[in-house]
Structure 1
Amino acid sequence: MSAPERLAAIVTKHSRVVLVVLLLATAVVGAGATMVDDDSSLDQFETDSDEARALEDIEGNFTSEQQENTTSLQVITRTDEGGDGGENVLTKSSLISSLEFQQDVRANESINETLADDQPITGVENIIAISAIRSEEADALNETSARLERGLNETVAIQRQYEQLNATYDESDPEYETRAAELEAQLNATVENATAPLTDAQTAEYESAVQQARDIESQRYQLEQTTDDPNESSEYQELTEQLEGVYQAGTVGVLEEEYAALEGGADGENDSGDRPSLDEQIDALEELDDDEFSELVAETLSDGEGEDNPAISLMPTSYEPGSTEADARLTSITQSAGGDGMSEMGGVDDAVVDSQLEIRDMANEHEGDYLVFGSGLITDEIDRSMGDSLAIVGPLALLFVVVALLVAYRDLLDIVLGIVGIGAVLVWTFGFMGWAGIAFNQMFVAVPVLLIGLSIDYAIHVFMRHREQRETERSADADDHAGSVRGSMSVALAGVGVALVWVTATTVIGFLSNLVSPIGPIREFGIVSSVGIVAALIVFGALIPAAKVELDAFLEGRGLDRHKRAFGTGGGRFSEVLTLGSTAARKIPLIVLVLVLVLSVGGVYGATQVDTSFQEEDFLAEDPPAWTESLPGGMSPGEYQAKDDLDYVNQEFQRADSQAQLLVEGDVADPALLEQINATREEAASSDVAYELATGEADVQDPLSTMESVAAQNESFNESFTAADTDNDGVPDENVSALYDELFEVDEEAAGQVLHQTDDGEYNMTRLVIGTDGGATTSETTDEMRAIAESLEDGGDGDWTVTATGDPIVSYIVEQDLLDTVLESLLITLVAVFVFLTAAYWLTGNSATLGTVTLLPVAFSVSWILGTMYLLGMPFNVLTGMITSLTIGLGVAYSIHVSARYSLELERQGNVWSALRTTVTGTGGALLGSAATTVGGFGVLAFAILPALQQFGIITALTITYAFLASVVVLPTLLVLWTRYFGPDVSFDFDPTAEPTPASDGGAPADAATAEDTASEDGDDR
């Protein structure tokens, strides 16, 4: 007895033991399903590359504590013609409404807890309101300064009168004392009047300046009296300069903190961290009349400061700087991302997701038209689209499978057993994921459908072969129901078992070829799918057959007939359709081959044209079609708007994650580098992929632009910056390291964004941040930035290295890794399956060349499916990128079943045409049922909400269709040619009058009764 026969006999003879053991194993393995977590972030698809490591270096060395671990939410206020939003978002009422919305956000405790500590909300409305407040404060401060200056002028004048009094009168003169008292009183009143708005400390400082002014003026008066021309005296000039210094100290010096408070950043925060409250901002806007308001808006949003104007960066690209009308404006909300931080479209915790959803709900209820866009909202939509997709396609796939099985099985018990088996396979698979710690992501939505299709494939082959064998043995011993059931199942499992094992092995090879991928989730998908396929073999090769023989024997023992005809073997239209391949192989084999080769060549050409994509759009669902509204509550999907919002943001604004970066490492204090950076940023600004601000300027941040910005606000640094530029070209060319040191002293936050200083004070890294157009492809962005990086590096003669990185570039690397995965897995799968099949056929006594013949239809179908992807405009993404290995893994299963059955029938019948007819009607019928259920299972993915899943379902359904057609239409021709030139010596005679040959015994011993006896020994041993 062969090994397959012994294993089959164990399953049928000891069916109860098999049932108990496998049910216990299912419970143990399935317990892990409760530990499966989910992860929809795209971070997990990033691979280990120089660009990814450079981005990590940037995030670790150029991010402040305030910015670290944060994510940005963009709230866009838009016009709503005919609605509450009005036709202009720069009206006073619109700005005040946005400030009130900010108040609502800050008043919400759960949202407020997620906000970053350092002024988390900044919008155009804040900048304009704070400008109004600062303008009013500046006017008041200038008035106070003028008041102090007047006081000093009066003090100097009074002191001169003192000096004149001293020169005219003797101190003992009563009139002197009277006049002196009057001057002193006048002086005290002057000081008291000037210092009325000051604090005690400021008053003391001012009084000190007054005393110094009096002393200097006294000395100047004495010199005037003793010198003919005091203006020619160096001592007099020196005293005059000292007096000017005292004036400076007594006015601007006394009010230094107040003046510093006016120099707030984009968010209006001053050096002490103060920022006008939202109430103060609202009051400031309400107090302005229409003319004042219009003038303020125009001034705040002017392009006088170019790209350094923070308000301009919050306006759409279509905005005309200085205009008092706009159709959109942006408010940025910074939140703590939670977890390990935030990257592109992922990395935020549940609290942030919930808070962003709540902010969007509040915005929808608030007056005006708001668009809310952020990583938490994207995460929510991806998660919901996965859940909604499963809710829709799961029941549809199950319904289709049930209907298909009703047609194929026409037996309720077999249908129930099939569904139970599917459930067991899924329990094993998800249980393994839980125990292995593999998270459920976008790719794994396809796993249940994949396993449903493969499980039904296994079930149909086992059940149909069992039915064929029962029909063959119907007359052997009609009274021995148990023996007939067990014996038929034993023979069926022995006959189809080898094919199932080979199918499992080749399919697992196909999926495990994804282990070469550098993308973690693809490797995990290959492992999980392989485990699920092995589970399907165990469940439908042992658990379900054991349950079936127990139930069939029990029912037949009570008088119920369990004989059923196998699908496709009863004649009629199905049988005739299935013989198309055998008929073509006999009549037009050359035409078949020519057509196949032509289609395959076209497919190969199309394969070279298929794009690769790793875009956010691949994972964002569009608003579900209207028909989904009629679905039952549990299946009805929610609303999806992130895709439309993303398109709008890409068109009008710069996304927070749409930035390319150039990391420069080496001697970054070299003056030559600044010269190169100056040229490089001009090159970047002229790039087609650079984001263009409303001013028409590119959004580029680098150490040179940072120093220019700080110099414009700090006089001391401006002097150093100008002094370091000896050739007056706007670029410092000496003392750069010292200039960097001063930059850190003046504005550490700004300096830390573009420069990294080692512990010993050396500057070893800098970066250029280039805003990119969200509509540009990752390929375009990467090519441009790499060219710019190469130009910058070439200018250093090896003194520094430059790496182009950023989210768009890292995404492009993922795309390339996807393409590499497609090519490598295709090559590995083809070679591995070829080696396996040739070795397997050789070891089982067949010609090794049969392995090549079996694989050829699969290679053809691979070219067909890739050509179809090109025709449909469907790119390789994280799901469709596995289509080549999946096509081979699934397609070879059909070919193996046909080749294995043909070899068996050829040996039994000795005639090519009768063996081929039996194969295509028997195994072909099972393949048709399997293909129908698998195609239906994957086809329902076209109704999924997740776009990538829709594409995967469509292309996989076509893959199964092509694999089925290749196995029952193309493979018969190849098998006939193989038999003629490489196969056994058999008859090629065709007898059109011959009756269809009965189904084979699947390799049963010559004495069928012996086999049945073997399989049905003492029932207690079962």
Structure 2
Amino acid sequence: MNASDLFAAVTKYSRGIIAVLLVLTVLVGAGAPMVEQSSSLDQFQSDSTAAQKLDYIESNFASGDQNQTTVQLIVRDENGNVLSKGAMVETLQLQQALRNNATVNRTLANETPTAGVANIVATVAIRQEQATELRKQGAQLQRKRADLNATVGNLSDLLNRTREIQREYDRLNRSRQRGEVNNSTYRQRANRLESQFREVRSRADRLLTDQQTGRFVRLVGQTRTLQGNLDALNASLAANEINRSTYAERAAQIRQQFRQVYERGLPGVLRGEFASLRESGKQLRQQRQQLQNASAPTLEEQIQQLQSMNESEVESTVSTVLSEGGSGPSSRAFAFMPTSYDPGSTQANATMLVVFQTQQGQTVQSMASSTIVESQTAIQDIAKQQLDREVLVFGSGIISEETEQSMADSIAIVGPMALVFVVLTLVIAYRDLLDILLGVFGIVAVLVWTFGFMGWFDITFNQIFIAVPVLLIGLSIDYAIHVFMRHREERAEHEGESVRQGMSVALASVGVALVWVTATTVIGFMSNLVSPLPPIQDFGIVSSVGILAALIVFGGLIPALKVEIDGYLEARGYDRKKRAFGTGGGALGSMLSVGAVAARKAPFVVIALTLVLSAGGAYGATQVDTSFSQTDFLAEDPPNWMKDLPEPFAPGTYTAKANLEYVNENFLRQDSQAQILVEGGVATPQALDKLEQAEQTAAQKEDVVVVLSNGEPQIRSPLSVMERVAARNESFNETLAAADTDGDGVPDRNVEKVFDKLFEVAPQEAKGVISRQDGEYEAARMVVSVKGGASSSTVTAEMRDIAANIQGGGLTATATGQPIVFEIVQKQLLDTVIQSLLITLGATFAFLMIAYRLAHGSATLGAITLLPVAFSVSWILGTMYLLGMPFNVLTGMITSLTVGLGVAYSIHLSERYTMELGRRGTVREAMRESVTGTGGALLGSAATTVGGFGVLVFAILPALQQFGIITALTIIYAFLASVLVLPSLLTLWTRYLGPDEAGAAEPNAAVASGRTEVSED
């Protein structure tokens, strides 16, 4: 069955065609409600090495951040001070309000739900008071120790005095034994010595309690005995009763006993006091250790602390916390301050509060869950109610909500506008209500088929699919215009021809062109399958299905409906003959004839000018940038006239993009990080040396790395974590110091033991930078906070250089992270542009040459038909360069779209020309009839398509606005190329390679006469 027979079947079996296609429309359309929506950027990521390593990090570094998302609240007060006591108390009270809200609270991270400068200032103030109290207790213990030591010293003096008295007593006894003193003198002296002994006891009584005095008296007795033994030993030596060796041995024993009395006995007198002192000292040390390891004070305690302080005390603490060179919590405070903050100042007009939320395994860039969206919306509302100051709220939930809202708002605004524009255009072109209604019905049917296909095949509706309805509206109406206008022309030329006969001839004459247009357009869209980005692949598939649906609907259903309806009306006396748009002369006909006139008078001049213009466009094409970033999908706040639209067309308020830009320019972005994954033998001194060098190198990359206002780059690695833990944990500090023999802060031995200790004392922090599997250390990572506005290409180049320096010696280093993954997507977008263009041009070129060879006996006619499209590709790319438009996920498809859409105009004109050439006999008449007949239909279809895409300029999404502008220009260029350039190319083809030279076969009689007999039935 040839094409004529196939299209004749549409008119012959019109009622059956209507029934079958309506049933299919219902069945396929049943899938439309199953279409899901997503605004996630993760879907654009391909399976690159960087993406794989990022997945590895999220799976193996259990720091908790892979299950967290952050909300950044920027508190601004241009005329005030956000570091004042009142402002910080309000910030703490805002945190309390967030925790008290059920919607927000269920998403908060357990350990540290919120963090900001106010928390650090209040915590430091509390710690300072606690430290002051501990110092007071320490001073009291020192005084007690000093008093006890003084008492022991006094007792020691009393024992010394006891020994002196005992020596005199022993000498007195020896003198009496030798008869040197009489009894009376002896008693006097002995009584005096006993009185001195009593004086020692009396002095001890004044120093000691009764129990302590009893202990001391025993020591006095031991001392007198030992001293007596020593005196007797000295007397024996003097009398030569013992030799010196025996003397020395016995004297040493006595002196040892004396030392025990003094060193153990004397403190033993105050043993209870010394035990109490030791216990108090132990408790004090425990309190100090607890203070070092203490968890953060509660919000209530922080609020009470700041409220209890006066303004000067708060200012003093703020100055301490935010002083340059601060350590511990103070060093982390700068992460919440603007990068332009002056360290030590107690004045600032902006600060940041971070809220940490759990998101059940989703990454930061993933589409936020409904729970996260609801909670962050609640955070925004609470912050604005709680604070008198301006608050900017920035988070993945807010972004996700605004992105999806912008998609919905864009459809709500653009969809009706496109439809209204198309209807208005059809009113001008058709000037017939029935044809307009049939066209609109056909568009709806095509959309039903397309979205039904998406639902049945589980294809998610994302940002770039907003262009699909507009695309299909424009292309579908093109089919209708060509069929209806050709039908009108046929009936106008042949008086008395029935509706059914006219439609049969119209479909036979334009049907092949429609099939070829569909095939080439599908080739253009399907070329996107070479893209490694899944959404672009899906876009190509869905668009191709939509175009096929358009061919079925407007090549079958709508013509069948028109045959039945027009036949019914004419049978009842209504005249359904209408004049085709662009025919009948007039200004429009003259305008459309410009290309035909130029082709007759100066075809070479037209082609020369076209080549010059195309060469300029080709140069501009090489200068077009590529972009893939979050801001591509963030809407700016719509103009006021849009907000004044009635519901449901009025768009919402959009702040995420402005907030994102403000955060990028002034603060540390919590979600903007590059990472270096190091795999292999990381528990070695060599690996740590390389990590240290990498940190130092990264710190110098000030063009991409965030440097806080205190001059410190934001870099986290095993080394920085070990340094931070050592500052607060004495046992780990000892382990680290023992492994660091040269004192440079990097362990040079026993690295595994250091890692083991780190996992023991700070497991969560250790897991954030070191991966341990079954006791083996297999990977480490370095996290570098990069500037939110930094170029992804620069970040990628810098991080890859750092990774390359780590590589080697049993280590594998890979640069990854969101900026690097996005840069890979950008390169893949550029590859998609080039590859899809080459594939589309190549496949379309081959298809047209084969098709025209089979249909008209001239393969060169296929090449000639494609040439204007190739020219228009260079024009549109040059225009993108002049307008400063980059290739993004939407505009990156413009080359394949230009070929796919643009070739339709050339095919229709070429087909009409070859047909008219056989019917009219001369090139001049054939060209004039083609450009005024088909050219009018082309103008109508171009107008509707341009209008359909042009309304995308009113979309909320910036990428859609760009896509609408550039696609509308693509249609204009394709139309101009077909009616201005193609006539000259066809003229030269006819002159040098036409039917006679190419040996083309004569058209068959049916086509030549434009008649195909079809029965009324």
Q: Pick the TM interval, shorter chain.
A: 0.7 to 0.9
Structure 1 residue 734: Cα displacement: 1.4
CA distance in 2, matches of 1:533, 1:187: 107
CA distance in 2, matches of 1:405, 1:678: 70
Q: 1:331 to 1:419 in 2, by over 3 A?
A: same
Letter in 2 for 1:789: A
1:629 to 2:643 alignment? yes
Q: 1:493 to 1:237 in 2, by over 3 A?
A: farther
Letter in 2 for 1:782: T
Structure 1 residue 95: Cα displacement: 0.2
Structure 2 residue matching 1:329: 3-state secondary structure: strand
TM-score by length of 1: 0.87
Structure 2 residue matching 1:284: 3-state secondary structure: helix
1:250 to 2:271 alignment? no
CA distance in 2, matches of 1:643, 1:838: 49
CA distance in 2, matches of 1:411, 1:506: 31
Maintained 8 Å contact 1:306/1:695:
no
CA distance in 1, matches of 2:943, 2:565: 27
Structure 2 residue matching 1:805: 3-state secondary structure: strand
Letter in 2 for 1:613: S
2:914 to 880, 884, 903: 903
Letter in 1 for 2:363: M
Identity of aligned residues (%): 55
**What's the counterpart of residue 435 of structure 2?**
414
Structure 2: which 5+ residue stretches go unaligned? 163-193, 227-251
CA distance in 2, matches of 1:378, 1:1007: 59
Q: 1:236 to 1:319 in 2, by over 3 A?
A: farther
Q: 1:353 to 1:604 in 2, by over 3 A?
A: same
Structure 1 residue 780: Cα displacement: 1.0
**What's the counterpart of residue 109 of structure 1?**
102
1:746 to 738, 754, 761: 761
Letter in 1 for 2:27: V
Q: 1:1004 to 1:649 in 2, by over 3 A?
A: same
Maintained 8 Å contact 2:17/2:560:
yes
Maintained 8 Å contact 1:491/1:1003:
no
Structure 1 residue 246: Cα displacement: 7.8
**What's the counterpart of residue 704 of structure 1?**
719
**What's the counterpart of residue 4 of structure 1?**
3
1:343 to 2:343 alignment? no
Maintained 8 Å contact 2:942/2:975:
yes
- 1:113-149, Cα deviation, whole Å (9 max, x unpaired): 1111222111111111111222222223333444555
Structure 1 residue 655: Cα displacement: 0.8
Maintained 8 Å contact 1:303/1:312:
no
Structure 1 residue 294: Cα displacement: 1.3
Q: 1:244 to 1:449 in 2, by over 3 A?
A: farther
**What's the counterpart of residue 132 of structure 1?**
125
Structure 1 residue matching 2:679: 3-state secondary structure: strand
Maintained 8 Å contact 2:406/2:956:
yes
CA distance in 2, matches of 1:785, 1:245: 61
1:321 to 2:343 alignment? yes
CA distance in 1, matches of 2:273, 2:76: 53
**What's the counterpart of residue 689 of structure 2?**
675
Maintained 8 Å contact 2:292/2:729:
no
* 1:217-228 aligned within 5 A: 226=255
Letter in 1 for 2:352: L
Structure 1 residue 164: Cα displacement: 10
- 1:346-400, Cα deviation, whole Å (9 max, x unpaired): 3320111111111112222222221111111111111111111111111111111
Q: 1:468 to 1:237 in 2, by over 3 A?
A: farther
1:849 to 837, 860, 864: 860
TM-score by length of 2: 0.87
Q: 1:719 to 1:636 in 2, by over 3 A?
A: same
**What's the counterpart of residue 827 of structure 1?**
838
1:288 to 309, 326, 345: 309
CA distance in 2, matches of 1:244, 1:504: 101
CA distance in 2, matches of 1:364, 1:328: 15
1:587 to 2:601 alignment? yes
Q: 1:108 to 1:585 in 2, by over 3 A?
A: same
Structure 1 residue matching 2:996: 3-state secondary structure: coil
CA distance in 2, matches of 1:68, 1:805: 14
Letter in 1 for 2:420: L
**What's the counterpart of residue 521 of structure 2?**
507
1:365 to 2:394 alignment? no
Maintained 8 Å contact 2:643/2:652:
no
Letter in 1 for 2:436: I
1:612 to 2:626 alignment? yes
Maintained 8 Å contact 2:946/2:968:
yes
* 1:418-429 aligned within 5 A: 418-429=439-450
Letter in 2 for 1:423: V
Q: 1:908 to 1:329 in 2, by over 3 A?
A: same
Structure 2 residue matching 1:844: 3-state secondary structure: helix
Structure 2 residue matching 1:665: 3-state secondary structure: strand
2:660 to 626, 629, 646: 646
1:259 to 2:288 alignment? yes
Structure 1 residue 826: Cα displacement: 0.6
**What's the counterpart of residue 571 of structure 1?**
585
Maintained 8 Å contact 2:915/2:1007:
no
Structure 1 residue matching 2:635: 3-state secondary structure: coil
1:334 to 2:384 alignment? no
Structure 2 residue matching 1:320: 3-state secondary structure: coil
CA distance in 2, matches of 1:566, 1:841: 27
2:297 to 270, 276, 288: 276
1:804 to 811, 815, 819: 815
Structure 1 residue 450: Cα displacement: 0.2
Structure 1 residue matching 2:780: 3-state secondary structure: strand
**What's the counterpart of residue 542 of structure 2?**
528
CA distance in 2, matches of 1:819, 1:739: 47
**What's the counterpart of residue 84 of structure 1?**
none
Structure 1 residue 258: Cα displacement: 3.2
Structure 1: which 5+ residue stretches go unaligned? 82-86, 189-210, 265-269, 477-483, 988-999, 1018-1022
Structure 2 residue matching 1:757: 3-state secondary structure: strand
Maintained 8 Å contact 2:916/2:929:
yes
Letter in 2 for 1:138: A
Q: 1:238 to 1:629 in 2, by over 3 A?
A: same
1:885 to 885, 896, 904: 896
How many residues of Structure 1 are paired with residues of Structure 2 in the alignment? 940
- 1:479-506, Cα deviation, whole Å (9 max, x unpaired): xxxxx01111111111111110110111
CA distance in 1, matches of 2:383, 2:403: 21
* 1:860-879 aligned within 5 A: 860-879=871-890
2:741 to 726, 729, 732: 726
**What's the counterpart of residue 49 of structure 1?**
48
Structure 1 residue 76: Cα displacement: 1.2
Structure 1 residue 255: Cα displacement: 4.2
CA distance in 2, matches of 1:342, 1:666: 26
Maintained 8 Å contact 1:912/1:986:
no
Structure 1 residue 657: Cα displacement: 1.7
Structure 1 residue 328: Cα displacement: 1.2
CA distance in 2, matches of 1:224, 1:371: 83
Maintained 8 Å contact 1:77/1:329:
yes
CA distance in 2, matches of 1:568, 1:485: 21
Structure 1 residue matching 2:86: 3-state secondary structure: helix
**What's the counterpart of residue 659 of structure 1?**
673
**What's the counterpart of residue 460 of structure 1?**
481
Q: Identify, as 1 or 2, the structure richer in helix.
A: 2
Q: 1:636 to 1:1002 in 2, by over 3 A?
A: farther
**What's the counterpart of residue 449 of structure 1?**
470
- 1:250-281, Cα deviation, whole Å (9 max, x unpaired): 345324553334225xxxxx3xxx54222221
CA distance in 1, matches of 2:899, 2:1008: 34
CA distance in 1, matches of 2:275, 2:517: 95
CA distance in 2, matches of 1:237, 1:885: 100
**What's the counterpart of residue 995 of structure 1?**
none
Structure 1 residue 770: Cα displacement: 1.2
Maintained 8 Å contact 1:46/1:810:
yes
1:941 to 947, 952, 959: 952
Structure 1 residue matching 2:628: 3-state secondary structure: coil
CA distance in 1, matches of 2:253, 2:430: 123
Letter in 2 for 1:516: V
1:763 to 2:777 alignment? yes
Structure 1 residue 162: Cα displacement: 9.3
Structure 1 residue 698: Cα displacement: 1.2
Q: 1:907 to 1:145 in 2, by over 3 A?
A: same
